[in-house]
Structure 1
Amino acid sequence: MDITPLDDPRVPTALALLTDLGLPAEEAVVLHASNTLTLRLRPADVVARIAPRDRAGDLAVELERAEALQAVGAPVGPPDPRLAPSVHVRGEHAITLWEHHPSRDRAELPPAEYAAALAALHAGMRALDLPVAPLADRVGHALDLLRDPARTPSLAPADRTLLQETLTRLAGRAATGGPQQILHGEPHPGNLLDTPAGPRFIDLETFCRGPVEFDLAHAPAEVAAHYPGHEPALLEECRTLSLALATTWRWDREDTFPDGRAIGVAWLAEMRARVEG
């Protein structure tokens, strides 16, 4: 993690917001930088998520989901308890403030604990009645990108066809292959904090409705052995589907994922090996 450069306008904006809210704010540390910038603001130890102003609604939905899941005991990272949950709009930026959780001193979360946390998250989600779009909508957005070469100009025709055919084929299987429920959408290790109080899922903007196998596909392979009741064949198909989706996003000309193009090239090769190997 690096101290962010002071000429990034999002940094002084977030620091000034925290000061205005009565908490000490002297420096910012980058936790994640992509379409949404995530900062740790010290010494108050608050996590700020910063998006463009026109995405304030998305941040509001994420807050609502976190509060709902926290209320049913699901393992999620909550908003900062010292502040009223709110989306703060400052200039061109929308900001939400979250509780910072220290990490446990170990290399990785054991697969059994990962599986238990994911199962607990899914159980909590089944207790909620939230408007969540189906996984098919996410696939539709990816297909829209692939159908428009102007939005994915660097993608070779053969690779475009591979992604389109894979997404179309596996989306139908995911929609009919198992019970449908609310999912996290991207519960990979980067969205799971290993805290002293137990694992906590974060980044709750990516919800969709589909089979639990789609979420399980984002976890390390060893986790599946400890997750009860999943269908192994559907899990393998969901792994390919999730890879096809993530690969498509990397070829969007507006993608801001760090090293996104190089990752897109590597994932295309992995995709071809999975589909044609």
Structure 2
Amino acid sequence: MEWANRMNQAMAYIESHLMEDIDYAEVAKIACCSVYHLQRMFPFLTDVTLSEYVRRRRLTLAAVELQNSDIKVIDLALKYGYESPEAFTRSFQQMHGTAPSSARKAGTMLKAYPPFSFQFSMNGVAEMNYRLETLPAFSVIGANKRVHTANAFATVPGMWAAAAGEGLFEQFWQIWSSDHPLRGILGVCADGDHGKNEEFTYIMSVVSGHLPPDGLSKRDFPAATWAVFEAAGGPEGIAELWKRLYTEWVPASGYALAYLPAIERYLPPEENKNELWVAVVKA
């Protein structure tokens, strides 16, 4: 399947560049998604972050080299991208349970972490309802926050609660475009920074044609087609949608993820639903 082929090509690129600084933008390009989507999608598919996968693959190869050559630990550390032998030794011991200096000894137990390979299969999953919306260009205005990818679903609800106490919503109601298809409070998920850290920018915002007030910033979106998924209930429904988007819908849909931030749309409590908007293109 095309999706599995793209992901396997991305893994092959990583495998061939393990002894270099990996260009995650190029990995995302091969996978036909943004760096942000790559960063968030990988743990849903594999239960491990992409940076941790790369670390384990490098340390697997380093262990093989220690057992089959007389390379010095300092040279091995530099070869696999560590700034010092001490940093390499800490990471090696964390994974293998032994120091690099002991890895050459006969009988030492080491761990091998094989390359990932993706395949797609249908296992009777529940249907996933969506609609397509084509919107002209628009802008959002909001407050930017940096969020760690691994903790996003625990961190973001607290951010919204704090924003309410700080009067952010009152600012929003003065500038929002109430007649826009994306009415309501929006969480824009943007700007993954993979390779430097595991964070992204989360923008608590509304659609607006105004200039941003002091302390808030503006983000422009071009015209695009969006796949829209409904989640009943509170923010926990959005979290489940993210997982199903990456593990079920994208592999089977015939669409690829566009190079635009995704949007969480939070509607009034009486509507008892929220939405996830993801820009897409035909695969």
- TM-score under structure 1 length normalisation: 0.26
Query: Which structure has the bigger radius of gyration?
Result: 2
**TM-score normalized by the length of structure 2:** 0.26
